[in-house]
Chains A and B, each alone.
Chain A
């Protein structure tokens, strides 16, 4: 069997860390090869080397049996290697075709742009691989799933033989994930080869033929996906056995901590995003909000935390009305918030880890006195969180957060919020984009908060997560509360129906 791509003994060092240490990856023609590893294991570095963005310190790369030096992405492109990035690189007001030809425009008479010929070719490619993309649609008008297909088409248009997918499902809905998997199967049927970078075992099981696992910059092994169980792969990735089920005892709910009474909120477009929403969260329980993205979850959380204003209704925390309070006053009265978008809301990326740790308490004793920061106290506090929440970074408390991996950024936020010891902890998508090891850890921490008698409000788009963690599940659809069920008495089908807006009574009768 010949390999289309062989990376042998790759080593890459960055100041302070060895990102890749003797990694070997062999890609057969016509296979989907998964590259599995935790965040920070060195997957992205390895692929950046293959794509010409970094030069390896040691090791060889062969493409179709010939040794090559890939000095920049253009060389990679010429060798038939294409990459579908996690964050799309598209010009929003341009059409699909215009985006695809950007950089290799077809011309007439040497200077006139020839979109029509290109559009025809885009259409042909789209048909051949079952992508179903309209070449004349504008990027800003099409869904995220479609945008990703445009990225795939870009590669196909440039005759890529090897396609690298970098965490392609992170931004997709379950339906779109299924479509993408079919597209990937079509691509290999037509003779393309795919490297799939991921840490989601479910997806590997669904599409990949073989899987190379790396951990802390080293190759752990390459396995046949069909013959390997999810648990075995997880163990290779993390280095210890992993439980997918959350261990927790029966909850002992106490007094209500959060009481929301017929809350109505208008979103930025002046449409009711939340309609007469009512919910309690009691001490010592986790209430999960289940729902399809964009059904009012963000507005609910932002209104509780004070980032948005309510139209009407009341929010009480420990019996006290808080809807008139500022964000800071709410923080101080006992709300902790793990925000949905950690990089936009949760962290100041250009601040160091220790500066981020004091984001809400910088003006409190003992972190500052008379308006002057107390670096020694701050450092000590940060180091304690780094230690107890296992936050890994290059230079400890002084690391700039931007340089840290997503999982460690999230652990830092969770550490910060949990250490503030809030009565109500709101966790929104707390494990999005994280690897199995971090997810397990974060889940354990949330349950721990519950067991300490805190109220936890969990909002997640991953139904598995909501079902595993919650004691009660509130289902939201189109800004309305569809119903509340006990997690132990429900199942995926029932929740699925409720998420579609069918009330429980209607469903069961």
Chain B
């Protein structure tokens, strides 16, 4: 069965289950969903906010999906995102350059920061066969505590201890024409970076010799060795790219959606990225679609909560159920096959 059909079915089941939940708690599901969708798409500002919310999810989802396609399980997108965001912020706060030079430099710093953060687990895997799930999670905490120390020590905010200084407008991804177009939304250049990255990654994975190599190593290390592909180099490179993409998520989040970096928080988008990749069947365009959908749910739930007395947790529950169905898509597939078999058996009996 087609992957996109599977994902759509998972979404459908998730929404149905959410409707049942709303009914059980004595609410009107039609009204609930109406406000949920309106909250995300009602006017240009809300659409812009939905896109902005989706931006880091697109990138973390893409990071996880890319690693997965090359046989690696990147649980560390959160840490890579945090480090990427931190590096970009640090550049933005430290350098006084014209915007045309500063922004590219910040994006580059974010990419490199996230990439280097992921290279460590990649190297450990290639050299010592340390499983990346363990090492990427540990890197998450190292990132967490590093930022926890460095921000108050060197980039302390003017009023609050737990935040960095505010970035100057010059060093942020927001563009006034863009905000104007979306009537005051906080949508920013990060969204375009995300879409561009999706296109680049899709091209890289499907059309280039590099993508061929990385996927071959992911599928079968031994055959890749036999073919003369540098297996260790490929693993490190895969993690480098995956980490870099997650780093870009940090750039979009901390220098676009927000204007400062907080300490003591691992960005939740890092973990949501796993769900986004799963629902998007690890395909770049699938990731884009599923991240936009998640963005809609996240940005619409506040409005739903304001207009009805449905708790916002319902939206989280729907997301959880969708992930559940996406993860168990094999069950759905089996169910459909059984139904089809039964139907053809009935037909035969009629003959």
Q: Report which A residues bind B (CB closer than 8 A).
A: 55, 305-307, 326-331, 337, 339, 341, 344-351, 355, 359-360, 362-363, 368, 371-373
Task: Return the CB mask of B203-227 against A: 1 if under 8 Å, else 0.
Answer: 0000111101101100110111111
The answer to whether B212 and A355 touch across the interface, beta carbons within 8 angstroms, is yes
The answer to whether A362 and B209 touch across the interface, beta carbons within 8 angstroms, is yes
The answer to whether A362 and B212 touch across the interface, beta carbons within 8 angstroms, is yes
The answer to whether A372 and B207 touch across the interface, beta carbons within 8 angstroms, is yes
The answer to whether B209 and A363 touch across the interface, beta carbons within 8 angstroms, is yes
> Does B100 touch A at the CB level, under 8 Å?
no
> In the docked arrangement, what's the CA distance between A349 and B224, Å?
12
> Does B228 touch A at the CB level, under 8 Å?
yes
Give which listed residue, B208, B213, B222, B229, contacts A372 with CB less than 8 A.
B208
The answer to whether A339 and B209 touch across the interface, beta carbons within 8 angstroms, is no
Instruction: Give the Cβ gap from A461 to chain B, nearest Cβ, in Å.
Output: 20
The answer to whether A327 and B219 touch across the interface, beta carbons within 8 angstroms, is no
Q: List 8 A-B contacts (CB under 8 A).
A: A329-B228, A331-B227, A350-B220, A362-B209, A371-B208, A372-B209, A373-B207, A373-B209
Instruction: Give the Cβ gap from B255 to chain A, nearest Cβ, in Å.
Output: 31
The answer to whether A373 and B208 touch across the interface, beta carbons within 8 angstroms, is yes
Give the one of B208, B212, B220, B226 with max A CB within 10 A: B226
The residue in chain B whose Cβ has the minimal distance to the Cβ of A326 is B228
The answer to whether B219 and A359 touch across the interface, beta carbons within 8 angstroms, is no
The answer to whether A339 and B226 touch across the interface, beta carbons within 8 angstroms, is yes
Instruction: Give the Cβ gap from B340 to chain A, nearest Cβ, in Å.
Output: 12
Give which listed residue, B207, B213, B219, B226, contacts A337 with CB less than 8 A.
B226
> In the docked arrangement, what's the CA distance between A462 and B223, Å?
24
Contacts of A349 in B (CB 8 A): 219-220
> In the docked arrangement, what's the CA distance between A348 and B226, Å?
11
The answer to whether A307 and B226 touch across the interface, beta carbons within 8 angstroms, is yes
The answer to whether A359 and B225 touch across the interface, beta carbons within 8 angstroms, is no
The answer to whether B216 and A351 touch across the interface, beta carbons within 8 angstroms, is yes
Contacts of B228 in A (CB 8 A): 306, 326-331, 360
> In the docked arrangement, what's the CA distance between A368 and B211, Å?
12
> In the docked arrangement, what's the CA distance between A119 and B149, Å?
62
> In the docked arrangement, what's the CA distance between A339 and B225, Å?
12
> In the docked arrangement, what's the CA distance between A355 and B216, Å?
9
The residue in chain B whose Cβ has the minimal distance to the Cβ of A359 is B227
7 smallest CB-CB distances across A and B, nearest first, come from A328-B228, A327-B228, A359-B227, A345-B226, A350-B219, A348-B220, A363-B209
How many chain-B residues does the 8 Å CB contact rule pick out? 19
* Contact flag A371-B226 (CB < 8 Å), given A348-B220, A351-B216: no
The answer to whether A368 and B216 touch across the interface, beta carbons within 8 angstroms, is no
> In the docked arrangement, what's the CA distance between A344 and B209, Å?
22
Contacts of B222 in A (CB 8 A): 341, 344-345
The residue in chain A whose Cβ has the minimal distance to the Cβ of B203 is A372
Contacts of A344 in B (CB 8 A): 220, 222-223
Instruction: Give the Cβ gap from A355 to chain B, nearest Cβ, in Å.
Output: 7
The answer to whether B223 and A345 touch across the interface, beta carbons within 8 angstroms, is yes
> In the docked arrangement, what's the CA distance between A371 and B207, Å?
9
> In the docked arrangement, what's the CA distance between A349 and B221, Å?
11
The answer to whether B209 and A371 touch across the interface, beta carbons within 8 angstroms, is yes
The residue in chain B whose Cβ has the minimal distance to the Cβ of A402 is B219
The residue in chain B whose Cβ has the minimal distance to the Cβ of A375 is B207
Contacts of A346 in B (CB 8 A): 223, 226
> In the docked arrangement, what's the CA distance between A307 and B223, Å?
11
Contacts of A363 in B (CB 8 A): 209, 213
* Residues of B258-280 contacting chain A, CB below 8 A: none
The residue in chain B whose Cβ has the minimal distance to the Cβ of A329 is B228
The answer to whether B225 and A348 touch across the interface, beta carbons within 8 angstroms, is no
Contacts of A307 in B (CB 8 A): 225-226
Contacts of B223 in A (CB 8 A): 344-348, 359
* Residues of B175-231 contacting chain A, CB below 8 A: 207-210, 212-213, 215-216, 219-220, 222-229
> In the docked arrangement, what's the CA distance between A453 and B345, Å?
60
Contacts of A305 in B (CB 8 A): 226
Contacts of A345 in B (CB 8 A): 222-223, 225-226
Instruction: Give the Cβ gap from B312 to chain A, nearest Cβ, in Å.
Output: 41
The answer to whether A348 and B209 touch across the interface, beta carbons within 8 angstroms, is no
> In the docked arrangement, what's the CA distance between A148 and B212, Å?
39
> In the docked arrangement, what's the CA distance between A351 and B219, Å?
8
The answer to whether B224 and A348 touch across the interface, beta carbons within 8 angstroms, is yes
The answer to whether B226 and A327 touch across the interface, beta carbons within 8 angstroms, is yes
Instruction: Give the Cβ gap from A391 to chain B, nearest Cβ, in Å.
Output: 17
The answer to whether B210 and A371 touch across the interface, beta carbons within 8 angstroms, is yes
> In the docked arrangement, what's the CA distance between A371 and B211, Å?
10
> In the docked arrangement, what's the CA distance between A307 and B213, Å?
18
Give the one of A55, A327, A349 with max B CB within 10 A: A327
Contacts of B226 in A (CB 8 A): 305, 307, 327, 337, 339, 345-346, 359
> In the docked arrangement, what's the CA distance between A416 and B67, Å?
29
Instruction: Give the Cβ gap from A241 to chain B, nearest Cβ, in Å.
Output: 37
The answer to whether A360 and B227 touch across the interface, beta carbons within 8 angstroms, is yes
Task: Return the CB mask of B111-153 against A: 1 if under 8 Å, else 0.
Answer: 0000000000000000000000000000000000000000000
Instruction: Give the Cβ gap from B311 to chain A, nearest Cβ, in Å.
Output: 43
> In the docked arrangement, what's the CA distance between A305 and B224, Å?
13
Contacts of A372 in B (CB 8 A): 207-209
The answer to whether A327 and B216 touch across the interface, beta carbons within 8 angstroms, is no
Give which listed residue, A306, A329, A348, contacts B216 with CB less than 8 A.
A348
* Residues of B221-251 contacting chain A, CB below 8 A: 222-229
> In the docked arrangement, what's the CA distance between A372 and B226, Å?
22
> In the docked arrangement, what's the CA distance between A377 and B223, Å?
23
The residue in chain B whose Cβ has the minimal distance to the Cβ of A367 is B209
Contacts of B225 in A (CB 8 A): 307, 327, 345
Contacts of A326 in B (CB 8 A): 228
Contacts of B219 in A (CB 8 A): 348-351
Instruction: Give the Cβ gap from A364 to chain B, nearest Cβ, in Å.
Output: 9
The residue in chain B whose Cβ has the minimal distance to the Cβ of A339 is B226
The answer to whether B209 and A368 touch across the interface, beta carbons within 8 angstroms, is yes
* Residues of B289-348 contacting chain A, CB below 8 A: 341
> In the docked arrangement, what's the CA distance between A362 and B217, Å?
14
